[in-house]
A and B are shown apart, each in its own frame.
Chain A
Amino acid sequence: MAQADAASLGGAPITAMVTADGVPLKKSLAKAERRRKITAFLLVAPLLAFIIFTFVIPIGSMLFRSVDNPIIVQVLPRTVDALQEWDGQDIPPESAFAAMAEDLVEAQANRTVGRVAVRLNYEMSGARSLLTATARRADDLAAPFQESLVDANPRWGDTEIWAAIQREGRRFTPAYFVSAIDMRYASDGSIERQPENQRIYVTLFIRTLMLSVAITLTTLLLGYPIAYLLATLPLRYSNLLMICVLLPFWTSLLVRTTAWIVLLQQQGVLNDILVALGIIGDNGRIMMVYNAAGTIIAMTHILLPFMVLPLYSVMKGIPPSYVRAARSLGANPWTAFWKVYVPQTMPGVGAGAVLVFIISIGYYITPALVGGQSGQMISNLIAFHMQNSLNWGLAAALGTILLAGVLILYWVYNRIVGVDNVKLG
């Protein structure tokens, strides 16, 4: 009040605030802030660089690879050009056959025909041998090239190979995604479902989802009472229990997984005990590993700490007076627990569930070792395409779909639970 009066009395407009030495306050504040920001940036710079190199770049490159399609354009440029105008109905014009012959000669000389053959084989079975065999005798081809090529292999007379080249003669392609969702291009260029016996990925995605949900639920079911005990027991007992919970973290993943095999396999410890007790007959030994059950059991064990720790940290922060208050207000132990205690642990449940679910949806080693056929997850197939079939484009597309799925689920989760309600410790 007094200041305002003084200012209006003096008739001077209220100017920007300045510091003692006359520098505008905003400016010196910005200067001080800048120094602080630079320090902060330098502190996080190593981690930032690490994350960029190990996370952002790989993921970016995966996203890129899932649509990247350079080979056909590079190796068969003339054919791609010549097919530009082709309507896809009849046999392509002679110019296309000529261009193909020319491209094949060059490809054979550059030793690039193998790559394009593999790439086209993804689109059309048999394309690999068609291209490599023809290319080997490409020098013998002569005009008229259509006859000459059909002579070399009658499949050049079908439109299928030409349609594939025309469709995939683009720098970027959705083809990997099409196969990643069990679809394929029909001969008329439309997209249709794969025949029944060749559909694998969608089922696998669904199974991955189911297994992850099952693992999340079992970890929650097993982890909740443990976390509760941890949070309420006197310190000396809870420390011991905590060590037991953390034990999985301290042993090698492989050792643990192998231990589960030893325990669960048909000739394993558990079956032996059951047989010895007479609960099952010797020829009725239960399959507990190399199937979905094996995956669930082993992964529940491995991921349990990720559920217990966030739950524990939330429960530790809930004073006993809440449940006591509920009891004194007339709630029986169950109501007090369910209506007062559990709602307050929701942030921990949310955090644990998100952690376990997201880790398990992309888990690879354990399902590979104990999953058998029915316990395989999508990550195992991605690994297969990375390491065995070398179809990196398809692997990238599958990975991208998985990533998108996780992000969508996370978004849904955020809408329902609210990520602000998640407490990670």
Chain B
Amino acid sequence: MTNVSAAADDYGFVRFANVQKSYDGEILVVKDLNLDIAKGEFLTMLGPSGSGKTTCLMMLAGFESATYGEIRLKNERIDNVPPHKRGIGMVFQNYALFPHMTVAENLAFPLRVRKMGKAEIEDRVKRALEMVELPAMAGRMPAQLSGGQQQRVAVARALVFEPDLVLMDEPLGALDKNLREQMQYEIKHIHESLGVTVVYVTHDQSEALTMSNRIAVFNDGVIQQLAPPADLYERPDNAFVAAFIGENNKLKGKVEQMDGQSCTVRLEDGSSVVALPVNVGGKGEPTTLSLRPERVVVAPAEGSLPNAFEARVEELIYLGDHIRTRVSVCGTDEFIVKIPNAQSHARISRGEMVRIGWAMEDCRALDA
């Protein structure tokens, strides 16, 4: 995807080791966080609201202190380094552009506090504005810019002093969908061309999937899974990640039999499914099977798939490129199948019985 196929020793540019954080002394908002970020990496923290993403970012930026554990930047402990000496650029959700300064003054601010020469400041501000394609806006006040333009200025300001690390806390949260997609592309582009390390926070999974080298999925103060986007989607480690990333069919049951590469799971309605054991205990343990809707095959050739069931079509939703079909099978009527809108596919209609099946590898047996 990018120039970052980080070698193992690159990791540790940023390192969270056993970090815990509590605001009130009662509840741990971040529980035992271990995270290594490589130089030049685009790492996204993804998770539901209140899962502790902003808190992690604030600890890294120096606005909150870790209750326990250590945070290292370039192998130096930064617990006692004040925020302005950490040299970390930051983009805030509300942009935090200084309202009493023009765009150019905003951009010059980090350079002026570093006591740079006038000519150099001017030159850098000009280049930064060109980078975000806003050279004409230098003299405007932030309030005179659109949301997207403000966002770009905020990004430019966080980069203008050439930090090695940039933190972005839901920087696109306030933008509409089209603009958001465009900005995702632009931020990604800037990241690639500058080679800067980015730690990015969002709760929008498609944003995380399109932009990141790796995604850390947060829930309840714990990283549930840390993996590249494709792995996260195709090989979720646990039921939370499977449910949180993309659409997912859940089937609950008990492990009946287990050998090295596969396991047999008896579902609650009595049917038996062959699945890939990923995160299950042993025989007799409860498990949740996770299956992506697009991996379900309609009318498979007899005997080609280990799992094949008769399903009743409950609902059809036409979505252009595919037809979202809700069927009842294996004791659930919330089972979704995505049927591509291709010529080869037979038309099915509501109430009809169809035969569906899926491969063992596509059906992952996860924690209950």
Q: What residues of chain A have their CB less than 8 Å away from a CB belonging to chain B?
A: 319, 321-322, 324-333, 335-336, 339-340, 343-344, 346
Contacts and interface: CB of A to CB of B under 8 A. Distances in A.
Interface stretch (B8-16, B82-90, B205-213, B324-332): B82-90
B230 interface: no
B138 to A, nearest CB: 18
Contacts of B99: 344
Nearest to B114: A330
A322 B98 contact: yes
Contacts of A319: 94, 96
A382 to B, nearest CB: 41
Nearest to B85: A330
B177 interface: no
Contact of A344 (B92, B93, B100, B110): B100
A77 to B, nearest CB: 66
B61 A329 contact: no
B84 A330 contact: yes
Q: Which 10 A-B pairs have the closest CB atoms?
A: A329-B110, A325-B96, A328-B90, A321-B96, A327-B83, A343-B100, A321-B92, A331-B113, A330-B113, A327-B84
B318 interface: no
Contact of B113 (A321, A325, A329, A346): A329
Given A321-B96, A322-B98, A344-B99, A330 B90 contact: no
A326 B110 CA distance: 8
Contacts of A332: 82, 84, 113
B61 A321 contact: no
B90 A331 contact: no
6 contacts: A321-B96, A324-B92, A325-B92, A328-B88, A329-B90, A336-B84
B240 interface: no
A324 B109 contact: no
Chain B interface residue bracket vs A:
20 to 34
Contacts of A324: 61, 63, 83, 90, 92, 96
Given A319-B94, A330-B84, A330-B87, A335 B113 contact: yes
A328 B90 CA distance: 6
A329 B100 contact: no
B161 interface: yes
Interface string B44-81: 00000000000000000111000000000000000000
A332 B92 CA distance: 19
A321 B98 CA distance: 10
A329 B109 contact: yes
A285 B109 CA distance: 53
Nearest to B86: A328
A327 B87 CA distance: 10
Nearest to A325: B96
B266 interface: no
B80 to A, nearest CB: 15
B152 interface: no
User: Among A324, A330, A339, A346, which residue has the most Cβ atoms of chain B within 10 A?
Assistant: A330
Nearest to B91: A325
Interface in B90-146: 90, 92-94, 96, 98-100, 109-110, 113-114
Interface string B248-288: 00000000000000000000000000000000000000000
Select the residue from A322, A328, A339 with max chain B CB neighbours within 10 A: A328
A343 B88 CA distance: 24
A211 B294 CA distance: 80
Contacts of A326: 98, 109
B292 interface: no
A383 to B, nearest CB: 43
B157 interface: yes
A330 B96 contact: no
B92 A329 contact: no
A322 B158 CA distance: 13
